[in-house]
Amino acid sequence: MTTATAIRTFQIDQAHSEAVFQVRHLITKVRGRFSAFSGEIAFDEAAPERSSVAFRVETASIDTNSADRDAHLRSDDFFAVERFPALTFVSTAIARRGETLFDVEGDLTIRDVTRRVTLPVSFLGKATDPWGAEKLAFETSITINRRHFGLNWNAALETGGFLVGDDVKIDVSVQAAAQ
């Protein structure tokens, strides 16, 4: 006889999580982060493949440590934050790749473009904090082509090539609290 396990809900704790990125700019890399995001993980500890995740990033919260660059990234050339205030990821399937490794397939939407992506996710474990709250932690890293999501702006260089690279590396580390 098989016993069904409960799927528990966990909210992403923004204070103990991060969503960062890097992209080539001229000859170096620019790093940035989003400071406002939220999400929910429906977690089945006994059968993680039955779990799901929904993640929302507020595009206006982009921060590259340069006010002028951030204003440009918020403009219609890039994120068009007034028309597209969030980028989202909603899982559609989870497959185990190892003891703590999973492929989380889902729909990533940036601007008005939705594409299916697979995130390689590491489950970092669970713990109870000093105040008795149960926490889970996960990490993922993926590289996407920004042009696939309508982020097409660029400037040609006199020496050849372009100012901004197409590949964007995204790293997300989340800690989520049981509800």
Conformation bin of residue 32: beta by default, left when phi > 0, alpha when psi is -120 to 50? beta
Domains of the chain: 8-151+159-178 (2.40.128.110)
- The yes-or-no verdict on residue 158 having pLDDT over 80 is no
Model confidence at 3, pLDDT cuts 50, 70, 90, reads low
In contact, 149 and 178? CB cutoff 8 Å: no
pLDDT tens-digit readout, 104-148: 999 999 999 999 999 999 999 999 999 999 999 999 999 999 999
19-64: per-residue pLDDT in tens? 999 998 877 899 999 999 999 999 999 999 999 999 999 999 999 9
**pLDDT at residue 1 tops 80:** no
